[in-house]
């Protein structure tokens, strides 16, 4: 092809567009940030002594497992899917670990197995969605029941876990002054960083966005759509397995009732973080902020010493506002 | 069947004796196509001719049941579009198959991004995308969002993606359908450039004008069969239309039986009056008057806007402008509900998805429209339902004559009759039938035609659309001819002759004016072109209108003409 780049060719659109495009795409994430800051400010104004290194540290310390779940969920939601199985996987993986520890297995074997149990459930859901074309809602609902059932098969009642390696994950506190963190929190942040790199610097990551944006187009572009969809659920399951390890470390036990409804908390965090449920648009950083907003609401409710179900009401209102906000942005883009 | 004038070189792509059968239906039968390097080849055919099936076969989206495809002399059998793309067959579709959420650069490069240190090298990606665009003479910020650009620019990005891998064959499936004239010109420049580099371009368009402008050769399909392969310069427009439609002027002239003894009185009461009705990108503003007891035929090729025009009159689609009066009621915000209560019903061409509800019984299907009008609080008694359904089954001869038969199990012709019954149950003043005879057998066809005539004789007005010219000719008192999304003429009385009609369908230029280059870049819809059209109208209404735009010698009454449109719009109603 030798056609010269016609020098007189009119430039279509302006330079400014790319800046505005990025701003537009990041707008929901920025909005979540702004809300986080506003909430911190409001807390400071109302309670006086609210914002402190202790509070900021505990925002992360309380919910590392939710951060990990939200990372996996971001992959799934960006393709336009949903994964309801992750909460049950936490219970299954925790109990599996508890039983294996009780049987005297070493942590070096148990922890990978706990993670792999999530990968397995993710693989089952992924096969159903990607290869048998079953709707993600139904497939992951099946995965949810399967994992919950397996948890009960593993043990009918909660089992305590006494293991130093597991304890180390969230029991160790590193810090400078009042700023503290745990290996588990660092692990969850590391996963966010890895996910960001995967999303934005690998073909797989870009294919995730393309599939969510327009699956038909992605297929016609010759992208590996089926494989990508499968991998997305595999990743989400694996993240749920990791979250199971962190949750077991957090509670020092395995419990067949663990993680009830946590899949919905993860979805809420992802949506509050600006990812659109139909896929194709959103950032994993946003999901991290979504979890922080969620955690901050929990802490504020505790500060106000009102009943904890107010958390749900606030989260519900916030979700509604966010969905309306996203619709407004989408409508503006269409114009 | 005839094969004419092959260029001396060997074809890069050859389809021979292609057969594709779907359940109970033959989509392609011994179809053939040859593409030579460095040509623009147009694939022509009406609805059901097998164009899209043939394209799918070439691009790996559809397997052949028989026959073979050879690429550069070697037989190929693709099972996925990706395989065809890898073999050098790229395609750009009418529905732009890109991801609007991503940037222009990504859309060009997706799946083939250059990498560095294990991750995507964004600088290089943007550079390569820019280069691919520049090679087509497009200067575009690669980091901008695809969504921020007009459909025309998106289309160009899709082409840039397709030709970046230097394919031997480029399939452009209706790339011009959402472009205005300047954008089409830019696309054609790009196509000529690619042609000069030896790319074989298969170009599909409903616009005859564009085919004659850009295509070197063309292949005509009809009913899944090859009609012939021609040099564009060798085939007259009227011959082309005849071969696409499968009718000739001679054959049509034999239709002495006009079906109706007495056409509607020319001074009968006006039932529908549309003034300047139009919808951007679908159909240019047009005027239409339908009188009581009149059958108005809509004739035109596929994509001429015949369905869009009918949907506007039937209140199905919302017009961008103009007024629609049905039975002295002006529909301010047209909707099917509003139109039905005013007395106009529209029966869709798409029987399966916009007509019959396959799981319900014949009785339920017939009574749906009536029940919808009555509202759910006024339930009809069981016996009344059976009686009504039974009477329509008998009157229209629906078989099986069982009101409880599941509608989906009926033949196409009987489903069509059920739909007819549904609308007749509403006792409409205007019945709009969009291809009611498509895909049904000859007996049922004749039966439906008879019903239409008898309805009109009893005072109902009918708008009748058919792809088959003889049908329109036989039934219509008056025929509205559409071409390139515009009403180009209305024929009636003694002037209603086959050659008039064919000439009108085939000939002529697109009339709307080109827009200023600046406007062309900011929007690709018709809005701008309509604005300029209005400007022109204002200018010309002061002068005497010449008859140059009228294809026949004083025979046509060009509907939607600026002068009348303006005058009517001023009329005080």
Encode pLDDT of B107-131 as tens digits.
999 888 888 888 888 899 999 999 9
Q: Which residues of A touch B137 (CB under 8 A)?
A: 3-6, 9
Number of domains making up chain A: 1
pLDDT at B24: 59
CATH number at residue A285: 1.10.3470
Min Cα–Cα distance to chain A from B115, Å: 8
CATH number of B469's domain: 3.40.50.300
Task: Collect all residues of chain A within an 8 Å Cβ-Cβ radius of residue B135.
Answer: 1, 3, 5
Q: Are B278 and B147 part of one and the same domain?
A: no
Distance CA B127, CA B105 (A): 8
Confidence of residue B251 (pLDDT cuts 50, 70, 90): low
Domain annotation covers residue B165:
yes
- Mark which residues 92-131 of B lie under 8 Å from A by CB: 93, 97-103, 106, 110-111, 113, 115, 118-120
Domain enclosing residue A37, as ranges: 29-41+50-334
Among the candidates B201, B226, B248, a domain finishes at B248
> Is the same domain home to B140 and B279?
no
Interface test with A, best of B115, B122, B145 (most A CBs within 10 A): B145
For A193-214, how does the pLDDT look when each residue is reduced to its tens digit (9 = 90+)? 999 999 999 999 999 999 999 8
CA distance B276 to B568: 9
Q: Could A209 and B163 be called an inter-chain contact, meaning their C-beta atoms sit closer than 8 Å? A: no
Does residue B83 fall inside a structural domain? Answer: yes
Same-domain status, B84 and B151: yes
Residue at A24 is within a domain: no
Among A12, A276, A330, A332, most B C-beta atoms within 10 A, so best to mutate, is A12
Lowest mean pLDDT among A65-79, A318-332, B70-84: A318-332
Q: Can you give the three-state secondary structure of A15-82, one letter per residue?
A: CHHHHHHHHHHHHHHHHHHHHHHHHHHHHHHHHCCCCCHHHHHHHHHCCHHHHHHHHHHHHHHHCCCC
Q: Which of A3, A201, A217 sits opposite B97 (nearest CB)?
A: A217
> Which residues in chain A touch residue B141, judged by CB atoms under 8 angstroms apart?
11, 13-15, 17-18
pLDDT for the residue numbered A18: 59
- Report yes or no on B469 lying in a domain: yes
Q: Taking residues B44-49, what's their average pLDDT?
A: 76
Complex ipTM, two decimals? Answer: 0.80
Same structural domain for residues B116 and B229?
yes
The pLDDT confidence band at residue A78, using thresholds 50, 70 and 90, is very high
Residue B159 lies in a domain: yes
B52 and B186 housed in the same domain: yes
Q: Give the 3-state secondary structure of residue B142.
A: coil
Mean pLDDT of B197-216: 89
Classify residue A36: in a domain, yes or no. yes
Q: Do B141 and A222 touch (CB under 8 A)?
A: no
> How do residues A2-12 score in pLDDT, each as one tens digit?
343 333 444 55
Highest mean pLDDT among A220-234, B300-314, B525-539: A220-234
On whether any CB of chain A is under 8 Å from the CB of B148, the answer is: yes
A125-177 confidence digits (pLDDT tens): 999 999 999 999 999 999 999 999 999 999 999 999 988 888 888 888 888 88
pLDDT digits (tens, 9 = 90+) for A294-305: 888 888 888 888
- Rounded CA separation A21/B69 (Å): 44
Identify which of B101, B103, B120 has the shortest CB distance to residue A280: B101
What does the pLDDT average to over A256-279?
91
pLDDT of B538 > 50? The answer is no
* Segment B491-506 mean pLDDT: 78
CB contact under 8 A, A21 and B143: yes
Co-location of B240 and B293 in the same domain: no
Does residue B82 sit at the A interface (CB-CB below 8 Å)? yes
Reported confidence tier of residue B573, pLDDT bands at 50, 70, 90 = very low
Q: Which of B248, B264, B280 is the last residue of a domain?
A: B248
What is the predicted pLDDT for the residue at B261? 53
| Range from A144-153, B71-80, B247-256, B329-338 that averages highest in pLDDT | A144-153
pLDDT of residue B519: 34
Does residue B363 sit within a domain? no
* Claim to verify: residue B559 and residue B481 sit in the same structural domain: yes
A14 within a domain of the structure (yes/no): no
Q: How far apart are CA A259 and CA A94, in angstroms?
A: 10
Same domain as B555, residue B479: yes
Pairwise CB contact (< 8 Å): B135 & A5: yes
E-assigned strand segments in chain A: 11-12, 159-160, 174-176, 179-181, 253-254
Q: What's the pLDDT at B370?
A: 86
Confidence at residue B287, expressed as pLDDT on a 0 to 100 scale: 92
Q: Which two tokens stand for residue B329?
A: 């009621």
| End-of-domain residue from the set B219, B248, B277 | B248
Pick the residue from chain A with its C-alpha nearest to B116: A201
Q: Are B17 and B30 in contact (CB under 8 A)?
A: yes
Q: Is residue B338 part of a domain?
A: yes
Who's near B225: CB < 8 A, 6+ residues apart? B29, B30, B31, B50
Whether A3 maps to a domain, the answer reads: no
Whether B418 maps to a domain, the answer reads: no
Q: Per residue in A238-260, pLDDT tens?
A: 999 999 999 999 999 999 999 99
Cross-chain Cβ contact A12/B143 below 8 Å: no
Provide the number of structural domains found in chain B.
2
Q: Are B86 and B208 in a shared domain? A: yes
Residue B563 banded pLDDT, cuts 50, 70, 90: very low
Q: Is A15 on the interface with B (CB under 8 A)?
A: yes
Domain match, B216 and B325 both: no
**Average pLDDT over all residues of chain A:** 88
Domain assignment present for B65: yes
The two three-digit tokens of residue A151, written as one number: 């948890």
The pLDDT mean for chain B works out to: 79
Reference B36, options B1, B11, B69, B60; nearest CA is B11
Q: B92 lies in which domain range?
A: 2-248
């Amino acid at each position: 092809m030798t056609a010269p780049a016609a020098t007189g060719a009119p430039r279509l659109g302006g330079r400014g567009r790319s800046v505005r495009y990025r701003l537009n795409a990041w707008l929901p994430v920025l909005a979540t940030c702004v809300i986080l800051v506003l909430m911190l400010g409001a807390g400071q104004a109302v309670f006086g002594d609210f914002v402190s290194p202790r509070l900021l540290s505990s925002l992360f310390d309380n919910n590392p497992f939710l951060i990990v779940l939200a990372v996996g969920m971001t992959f799934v939601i960006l393709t336009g899917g949903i994964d309801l199985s992750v909460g049950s996987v936490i219970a299954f993986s925790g109990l599996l670990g508890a039983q294996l520890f009780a049987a005297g297995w070493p942590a070096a074997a148990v922890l990978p197995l706990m993670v792999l149990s999530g990968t397995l459930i993710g693989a089952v859901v992924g096969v159903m969605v990607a290869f048998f074309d079953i709707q993600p809602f139904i497939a992951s609902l099946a995965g949810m029941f399967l994992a919950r059932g397996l948890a009960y098969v593993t043990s009918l009642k909660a089992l305590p876990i006494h293991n130093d390696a597991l304890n180390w994950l969230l029991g160790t506190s590193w810090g400078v002054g009042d700023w503290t963190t745990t290996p588990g929190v660092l692990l969850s942040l590391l996963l966010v960083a890895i996910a960001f790199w995967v999303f934005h610097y690998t073909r797989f990551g870009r294919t995730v966005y393309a599939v969510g944006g327009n699956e038909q187009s992605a297929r016609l572009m010759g992208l590996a759509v089926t494989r990508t969809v499968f991998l997305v659920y595999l990743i989400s399951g694996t993240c749920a397995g990791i979250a199971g390890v962190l949750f077991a470390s957090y509670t020092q036990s395995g419990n067949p009732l663990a993680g009830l409804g946590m899949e919905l908390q993860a979805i809420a965090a992802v949506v509050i973080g600006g990812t659109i449920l139909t896929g194709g648009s959103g950032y994993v950083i946003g999901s991290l902020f979504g979890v922080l907003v969620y955690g901050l609401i929990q802490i504020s409710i505790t500060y106000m010493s009102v009943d904890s179900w107010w958390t749900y009401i606030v989260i519900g209102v916030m979700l509604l506002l966010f969905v309306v906000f996203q619709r407004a942005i989408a409508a503006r883009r269409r114009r | 069947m005839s094969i004419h004038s092959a260029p001396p070189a060997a074809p890069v792509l050859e389809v021979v004796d292609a057969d594709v059968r779907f359940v109970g239906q033959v989509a392609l039968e011994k179809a053939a196509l040859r593409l030579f390097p460095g040509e623009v080849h147009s694939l022509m055919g009406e609805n059901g001719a097998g164009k899209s099936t043939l394209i799918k076969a070439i691009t790996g989206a559809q397997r052949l049941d028989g026959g073979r495809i050879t690429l550069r002399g070697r037989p190929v059998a693709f099972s996925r579009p990706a395989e065809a793309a890898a073999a050098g067959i790229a395609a750009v579709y009418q529905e732009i198959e890109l991801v609007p959420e991503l940037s222009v650069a990504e859309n060009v490069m997706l799946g083939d991004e250059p990498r560095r240190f294990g991750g995507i090298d964004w600088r290089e990606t943007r550079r390569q995308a820019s280069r691919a665009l520049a090679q087509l003479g497009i200067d575009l910020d690669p980091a901008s969002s695809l969504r921020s650009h007009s459909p025309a620019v998106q289309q160009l990005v899709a082409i840039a993606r397709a030709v970046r891998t230097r394919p031997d064959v480029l399939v452009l499936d209706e790339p011009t359908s959402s472009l205005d004239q300047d954008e089409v010109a830019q696309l054609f420049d790009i196509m000529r450039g690619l042609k000069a580099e030896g790319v074989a371009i298969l170009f599909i368009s409903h616009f005859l004008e564009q085919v004659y402008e850009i295509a070197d050769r063309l292949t005509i399909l009809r009913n899944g069969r090859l009609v012939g392969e021609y040099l564009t310069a060798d085939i007259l427009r009227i011959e082309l239309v005849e071969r696409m439609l499968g009718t000739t002027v001679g054959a049509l002239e034999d239709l002495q039986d006009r079906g109706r003894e007495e056409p509607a009185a020319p001074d009968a009461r006006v039932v529908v009056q549309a003034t300047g009705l139009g919808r951007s990108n679908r159909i240019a503003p047009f005027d239409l008057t339908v009188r009581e007891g009149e059958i108005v035929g809509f004739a035109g090729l596929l994509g001429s806007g015949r369905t869009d025009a009918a949907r506007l009159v039937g209140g199905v689609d919302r017009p961008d402008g103009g007024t629609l009066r049905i039975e002295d009621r002006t529909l301010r915000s047209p909707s099917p509900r509003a139109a039905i209560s005013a007395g106009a019903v529209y029966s869709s061409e798409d029987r399966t998805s916009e007509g019959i509800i396959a799981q319900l019984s014949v009785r339920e299907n017939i009574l749906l429209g009536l029940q919808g009008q009555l509202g759910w609080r006024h339930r009809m008694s069981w016996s009344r339902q059976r009686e009504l359904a039974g009477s329509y089954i008998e009157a229209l001869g629906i078989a099986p004559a069982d009101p409880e038969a599941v509608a989906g199990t009926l033949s196409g012709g009987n489903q069509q009759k059920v739909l007819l019954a549904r609308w007749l149950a509403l006792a409409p003043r205007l019945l709009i039938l969009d291809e009611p005879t498509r895909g049904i057998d000859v007996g049922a066809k004749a039966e439906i035609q008879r019903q239409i005539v008898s309805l009109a004789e009893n005072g109902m007005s009918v708008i009748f659309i058919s792809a088959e010219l003889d049908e329109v000719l036989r039934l219509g008192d008056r025929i509205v001819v559409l071409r390139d999304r515009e009403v180009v003429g209305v024929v009636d009385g003694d002037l209603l002759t086959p050659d008039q009609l064919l000439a009108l369908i085939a000939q002529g230029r697109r009339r709307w004016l080109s827009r200023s280059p600046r406007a062309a870049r900011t929007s690709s819809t018709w809005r701008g072109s309509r604005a300029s059209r209005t400007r022109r109208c204002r200018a010309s209404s002061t002068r005497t209108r010449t008859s140059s735009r009228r294809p026949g010698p004083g025979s046509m009454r060009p509907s939607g003409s600026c002068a009348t449109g303006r005058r009517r719009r001023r009329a005080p109603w």
